[in-house]
Amino acid sequence: MEQKNAKGWLYLLPAIAFLGVFMVYPLVDVFVYSFEEGYNSASQTFFGVGLYNYSYVLHDPYFLQALKNTFLLVIITVPLSTGLALLISVGLSSIQKLKDLFQTIYFLPYVTNTLAVGLVFMILFKRTPYTDGLVNLMLHWFGAGPIDFIDGPHWAKMFVLCFYTIWVVMPFKILILTSALASVNQDYYNAARIDGTSRSRIFFRITLPMISPMLFYLIITGFIGAFKAYSDAVAIFGTDLNAAGMNTMVGYVYDMLYGDSGGYPSYASAAAIILFAIVLTITCINLMVSRKHVHY
Amino acid sequence: MNYDAIEVRTRRRERLRKGFTYFCLVIWALMVLFPFYWMLLSSLKSYSAYNSEYVPRFFTLSPTLQNYTDAFTAVPLARYFLNTLIFTLATTAIMLLVITLAAFAFARLNFRGKDLVFTFFLALMMIPTELVVITNFVTITDWNLRNTFPGLILPSVTSVFYIYLLRENFAQIPDELYYAAKVDGTSDFKYLLRVMLPISRPTMVTITILKVIECWNSYVWPRLITDDANYFLVSNGIQEIRENGFGRENIPAMMAAVVVISVPLILLFLLFRKKIMAGVSRGGTKG
Amino acid sequence: MKVVLEHLTKSFPSRNKKVKEPVIAVNDFSFEIPDGELIGLLGPSGCGKSTMLNLICGLQTPTSGKIYFGEDDVTNLPPENRGVGLVFQNYALYPHLTVLQNILFPLQNLKGAARPSKEEMMNKALDAARLVQIERLLERKPSEMSGGQQQRVAIARALVKRPRVLLLDEPLSNLDARLRLQTREEIRRIQRETGITTVFVTHDQEEAMSISDRIVVMKAGLLQQIGKPQEVYDDPVNLFVAKFLGTPPINVFEGEVRNGLLYIGENSVLQAPGAPDRKVWIGVRPEGFLPEQAGPLRCTLSGVEVMGRDISVVASHPACSAAAIRAIISAESAVDPKAETVRFALKPNKVHVFDRESEERLRIELK
């Protein structure tokens, strides 16, 4: 038995070592950092313990900008992408021909490098002295524009960011919803057809309740994902997000840690903890709402 | 009741609905495909042709591969590629080893404190990477591992979620097989290699593919930990190219680089389409 | 409502890419269901009976042929315009709705002039619930009920719109044995009370025999026989129908007609005056055996099971196509359980003769 005990732990040793060093210790440490005032990363000294880091972060205009951007992004992209994915999935499940082809195409963004394709989006939207870009060309056909989406007004930049974020998150949502729809027993639809149920009633009274657990799962993961947005923004606006006014909360954390404005792990920690307090709160609210609305 | 009229009306409505559905699906398919088309198209236009198009054209009559040559010569794209390959292979391999051992211990071995540790592991699944990245950055810096492969690789060689996924898979293998092997005098380790891993191959493949995708696209950690272009991965490479390579306006060359970076994963996806989609729906949001 | 099927055929394109021939689920099917009858559609699994049901209710449209409800041609009409009620094998109750909401659901689909007021809907739903005796469960969710109760809710939901035709797909297959007996009586009662023409599909012949006014026996998409249960049992048209009906099943022997006599092996068991010589299958119902000291059919005795009123004798005979013969005889008859052999005489009206090749019934007079 003694030997058995040792063996079990031996097999676990690598996992425990890695998780301990890169997960458990940092988790404790990030709280420690966030309360150490005036931490100097070169000398590794600090001169006080308190809430100053939080207060600094909460008064930092860059952080407030990032907070605002992140909330906008969440509020716009989560409902839009989930709704759009739902529509597409319903359409997809109602056809037979070409279904595989569509599914394959829709999944493509999932396997592409966010940074690389973001560059393509930037080019599509960008206005340079040489060209107005493709999107502006299209706007021109409808008599609008030209708008500088990359270096122009904040709402235009926000639009591009939301557009790209939705483009990136759609594959996962379509995939999950399509398989949720496929798992609904066909008999329910047959029963509804025999009763002469209208399409919209079938959708709202049968389909939606039946897939509601998956829908809520997507909304919750969607919220969490959108709060952690960063790469998408970098892909379109470059690494200096503060200058572009398009920073996100995660971006703020990294910028505090490293780069031109870096070297402040305490501020970064405080910002990271604020971010996760928000995410945790929203997730809890989501769970409470879903418990009320998901019936079985 | 006029049955013929009902029949005709139903059929017409059905056809209309079908048409509309296909129309919408095609629109979204175009939305998805267009960026890919545009990057391919731009990468085939010559520098001067691209820049002389004030109104962008949707096709090109004189495609050139010059941009691809530029992508590999003017910037160290091949090096980024090689780095990413090393990073991806090493991370995935080490991770598979670590999680297999751990999953085996949880699924098959009995030792004191197992349930407690497992619960603790599950709790760790909820910790977002963004929260621990700060300390990890400091740790790796303190260990003088910045701009090295170990520094890139080490923090991402464990995944609690994959341990969990694999453990569930291992646990489904009937106990009888294990006892039969014990009677034959097979050691635990041999049993793991000869019986459990082959049976769990589909899950192993799924995990491998998901991890490869994750590694290939990882950006944040490599960006923090490398500032020497010799250690850039493709994501950082593309960012570097964008900000400093080629001179700002050589967009066709940039697009060529983007195409080269995108192709491996798209090929992987087309080859393992069913497996990847099943794997992703079983567990994994992007990032 | 009378239901008439005329030369109904349904074929599906083959799923197997190498075989181009379509799969024919229902093949040139014609019959008429008289108004107000309870019809049992009977056949082994995969014989096309579910396809048949889907054709009648309109979930599928036939490849050729016609379906009439009364005088109306409903062949290509969508299901909601046919006025049918369908009870699914797994009941298909909406899990997120209560019993009452489930029953109300079809009524709430109605539009315009056909749509009853809230009060009327409630009354209709309560009527339906009362009919199937679930009025005390109205606030429950399907997951909180037993299989039998769910079945009743499903029937209530199918009946609430007063359909012209009620269809039930394997209504008893998901219930345990005790509930099955009870529920089939229930279905019978409900059908009687409402007088709605009802078709139910089953693979269980006992179920079909016990409650149907008429049974329709199917095999591989083809109609085998249609008639009152007792008629079909007593007078099967072919070996398949004979074998499919009855528990214990009919005993089948290899046999021969020779010189006006019916032989099983070398035992001449009955007289068949005037019948031409040929090889045949001989089917003997379990109740067709009479134990007799000098009976012509000599079998090896394997066992005797006393079942109260009756005795079941298990025996074997080299010419029998099954390993064991099962005979049901009355308890008064004396069979020595320890004897090695048992001899039977056969009751002519319980013996059916079929052609060896075509397996069609041979109308031979037996004595």
- The rounded distance, in Å, linking the Cα atoms of A116 and B39 is 10
A27, A90, A108: which to substitute to probe chain B, counting the most B Cβ within 10 Å?
A: A108
Q: Do B258 and A116 touch (CB under 8 A)?
A: yes
- The rounded distance, in Å, linking the Cα atoms of B140 and B221 is 11
The minimal CB distance from B117 to the residues A12, A131, A254 is found for A12
Q: Do B130 and A130 touch (CB under 8 A)?
A: no
Please name the CATH architecture into which domain B72-283 falls: Orthogonal Bundle (1.10)
Q: Do C85 and A194 touch (CB under 8 A)?
A: yes
C76, C80, C164: which to substitute to probe chain B, counting the most B Cβ within 10 Å?
A: C76
Kindly report the number of other CB atoms within 10 A of residue B128's CB atom. 17
B10, B57, B87, B134: which to substitute to probe chain A, counting the most A Cβ within 10 Å?
A: B134
- The rounded distance, in Å, linking the Cα atoms of A40 and A42 is 6
| Span of A113-122, A143-152, C82-91 with lowest mean pLDDT | A143-152
Catalogue all structural domains in chain A, each as residue range(s) with its CATH number: 1-50 (no CATH), 60-293 (1.10.3720.10)
**Does residue A147 surpass a pLDDT of 80?**
no
Three-state helix/strand/coil letters over chain A: CHHHHHHHHHHHHHHHHHHHHHHHHHHHHHHHHHHECCCECCCCECCCECCHHHHHHHHCHHHHHHHHHHHHHHHHHHHHHHHHHHHHHHHHHCCCCCHHHHHHHHHHHHHCCHHHHHHHHHHHHCCCCCCCCHHHHHHHHCCCCCCCCCCCCHHHHHHHHHHHHHHHHHHHHHHHHHHHHHCCCHHHHHHHHHCCCCHHHHHHHHHHHHHHHHHHHHHHHHHHHHHCCCHHHHHHHCCCHHHHCCCCHHHHHHHHHCCCCCCCHHHHHHHHHHHHHHHHHHHHHHHHHHHHHCCC
Q: How would you write the pLDDT of chain C (367 residues) with one tens digit per residue?
A: 889 988 888 888 776 666 667 788 888 888 888 998 999 999 888 888 888 888 998 888 888 889 999 888 888 888 888 888 899 888 889 988 899 999 999 888 888 777 888 898 999 999 899 888 888 989 999 888 988 889 889 999 998 888 889 999 888 887 888 888 888 888 899 899 889 999 999 888 888 888 899 999 998 888 899 999 999 999 999 999 999 888 888 999 888 888 888 888 888 888 888 778 888 899 999 988 888 888 888 888 888 888 778 888 888 888 888 888 888 888 777 777 788 888 888 888 888 989 988 888 888 888 7
Burial status of residue B53 (CB atoms within 10 A of its CB: 0-12, 13-18, 19 or more): middle
Question: In whole numbers, what is the pLDDT of chain B averaged over residues?
Answer: 85
pLDDT, mean of residues B156-170: 89
Distance from the Cα of C5 to chain A's closest Cα (Å) equals 19
Phi, psi of A232 (to 5 degrees): -60, -45
**How high is the pLDDT of residue A1?**
46
The one-letter amino acid code at C289 reads: F
Residues of chain B positioned with their CB less than 8 A from the CB of C83:
none
- Decide if B254 touches A, using CB distance below 8 A: yes
Q: Do C76 and B1 touch (CB under 8 A)?
A: no
Q: Do C109 and A210 touch (CB under 8 A)?
A: no
Q: Do C58 and A194 touch (CB under 8 A)?
A: yes
**How high is the pLDDT of residue B125?**
82
The minimal CB distance from A195 to the residues C80, C90, C141 is found for C80
Coil/strand/helix, residue C344: strand
Q: Do B224 and A254 touch (CB under 8 A)?
A: yes
Q: Do B3 and C78 touch (CB under 8 A)?
A: no
- Decide if B1 touches C, using CB distance below 8 A: yes
Distance from the Cα of C58 to chain B's closest Cα (Å) equals 12
pLDDT, mean of residues B196-212: 88
CB of A11 closer than 8 Å to CB of B104: yes
Q: Do B134 and A116 touch (CB under 8 A)?
A: no
CB of C335 closer than 8 Å to CB of C239: no
What is the DSSP code (8-state) at residue C15?
S
Phi, psi of C223 (to 5 degrees): -70, 130
pLDDT digits (tens, 9 = 90+) for B219-272: 888 988 888 888 888 888 888 888 776 655 678 888 888 898 889 889 989 988
CB of A145 closer than 8 Å to CB of A121: no
Residue found by looking up tokens 């006599």 in the block: C261
Give the residue from chain C lying closest to A199, CA to CA: C109
Tokens of C288: 């067709």
Q: Do B111 and A8 touch (CB under 8 A)?
A: yes
The one-letter amino acid code at C168 reads: L
- The rounded distance, in Å, linking the Cα atoms of C367 and C273 is 8
**How high is the pLDDT of residue B2?**
67
pLDDT digits (tens, 9 = 90+) for B60-71: 777 888 888 888
The minimal CB distance from A176 to the residues B109, B188, B281 is found for B281
**How high is the pLDDT of residue B286?**
38
Coil/strand/helix, residue C65: strand
Q: Which residues contact B251 (CB under 8 A, 6 or more apart)?
A: A123, B42, B50
Report the relative pairing of strands C64-69 and C310-316 from DSSP bridges: unpaired
The pLDDT-based confidence of A259 (bands split at 50, 70, 90) is: low
Domain parsing of chain B, residue ranges: 2-43, 72-283
Q: Which residues does residue B270 pair with via DSSP β-bridges, in sequence order?
A: none
Give partners of B (≥3 CB pairs < 8 A). Answer: A, C
Percentage of residues of chain B with pLDDT beyond 70:
95
- Decide if A94 touches B, using CB distance below 8 A: yes
pTM of the full predicted structure? 0.84
Among C162, C3, C55, C74, smallest CA distance to B2 is for: C74
- The rounded distance, in Å, linking the Cα atoms of A252 and A66 is 7
What is the DSSP code (8-state) at residue B115?
H
What is the DSSP code (8-state) at residue B195?
I
Residues of chain A positioned with their CB less than 8 A from the CB of B54:
130-132
- Decide if A110 touches B, using CB distance below 8 A: yes
**Does residue B130 surpass a pLDDT of 90?**
no
CB of A160 closer than 8 Å to CB of C71: no
B1, B2, B4, B7: which to substitute to probe chain C, counting the most C Cβ within 10 Å?
A: B7
Q: Do A168 and B286 touch (CB under 8 A)?
A: yes
The minimal CB distance from C84 to the residues A194, A198, A295 is found for A194
Give partners of C (≥3 CB pairs < 8 A). Answer: A, B
**Does residue B53 surpass a pLDDT of 80?**
no
**Does residue B185 surpass a pLDDT of 70?**
yes
Q: Do B134 and A230 touch (CB under 8 A)?
A: no
Distance from the Cα of A180 to chain C's closest Cα (Å) equals 16
**Does residue B285 surpass a pLDDT of 50?**
no
The minimal CB distance from A195 to the residues C59, C95, C109 is found for C109
Among A283, A256, A284, A282, smallest CA distance to A66 is for: A256
Residues of chain A positioned with their CB less than 8 A from the CB of C143:
296
- Decide if C162 touches A, using CB distance below 8 A: no
pLDDT, mean of residues A67-87: 94
Q: Do B6 and C73 touch (CB under 8 A)?
A: no
The one-letter amino acid code at A235 reads: A
Q: What is the CA radius of gyration of chain A?
A: 24
The pLDDT-based confidence of A15 (bands split at 50, 70, 90) is: very high
C80, C164, C166: which to substitute to probe chain A, counting the most A Cβ within 10 Å?
A: C80
Residue found by looking up tokens 């409800």 in the block: C69
- The rounded distance, in Å, linking the Cα atoms of C77 and C71 is 14
A30, A120, A239: which to substitute to probe chain B, counting the most B Cβ within 10 Å?
A: A120
Distance from the Cα of B14 to chain C's closest Cα (Å) equals 11
**How high is the pLDDT of residue A170?**
94
Q: Do B7 and C76 touch (CB under 8 A)?
A: yes
Give the residue from chain C lying closest to B14, CA to CA: C78
